[in-house]
């Protein structure tokens, strides 16, 4: 059986975003793993206008070339790590928009969540968990939440506490386990 392929989806495109440093840290931790290949998927590289498909994603009838390209990219993966900021007690609009573009490409895959914000971004994760459930994405219990106060210097330079490394290892183990199990469901 081939190695699992997992996307680290960076859910912020904001100028000066903190998410790039967080996503790169997650990717660096993940690349120490042997059972899966991890790839950074930056939404800056996949510009999607505000949802412009006339037919609901659940029908799978995509018209836009940008939608077809996004669907092809997401279809490649067995699982996802969503890296999200917390904006106004939720995830970013650009991440929600990117998720809403597709349906079947997400189904029967696994996900984990990494957030950052003044309270660690936990409320953004809670919203994403509800969205993931509707899309038939099995999400793991372990999550990573980084505080702008304790894990960032001056609210902008990412300097995570070493304690997050152990939590990340648990997150990767849970995600890889579920992603592997769901391959048989998709088959």
| Domains and their CATH numbers in the chain | 4-186 (3.40.50.360)
Question: How are beta strands 4-10 and 152-153 bridged, if at all?
Answer: unpaired
Contact 62, 1 (CB under 8 A): no
Phi-psi region of 33 (alpha: psi -120 to 50; beta: other; left: phi over 0): beta
Quote the pLDDT of residue 98: 98
16 confidence band (pLDDT: 50, 70, 90): very high
Average pLDDT for residues 104-126, to the nearest whole number? 97
Quote the pLDDT of residue 175: 98
Asked if residue 128 has pLDDT above 80, the reply is yes
Asked if residue 1 has pLDDT above 80, the reply is no
3-state secondary structure of 187: coil
């Amino acid at each position: 059986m081939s190695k699992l392929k997992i996307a680290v989806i960076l859910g912020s495109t904001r100028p000066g975003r903190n998410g790039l440093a967080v996503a790169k840290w997650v990717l660096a931790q993940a690349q120490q793993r042997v059972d899966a290949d991890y790839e950074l998927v930056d939404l800056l590289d996949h510009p999607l206008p505000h949802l412009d498909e006339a037919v609901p994603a659940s029908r799978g009838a995509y018209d836009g070339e940008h939608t077809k390209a996004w669907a092809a990219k997401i279809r490649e993966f067995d699982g996802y790590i969503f890296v999200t900021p917390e904006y106004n007690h939720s995830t970013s609009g650009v991440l929600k928009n990117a998720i809403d573009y597709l349906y079947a490409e997400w189904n029967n895959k696994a996900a984990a969540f990494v957030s950052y914000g003044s309270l660690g971004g936990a409320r953004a994760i809670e919203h994403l968990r509800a969205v993931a459930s509707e899309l038939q994405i099995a999400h793991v219990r372990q999550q990573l939440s980084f505080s702008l106060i304790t894990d960032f210097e001056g609210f902008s330079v990412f300097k995570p506490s070493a304690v997050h490394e152990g939590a990340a290892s648990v997150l990767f183990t849970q995600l890889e386990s579920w992603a592997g199990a769901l391959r048989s469901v998709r088959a």
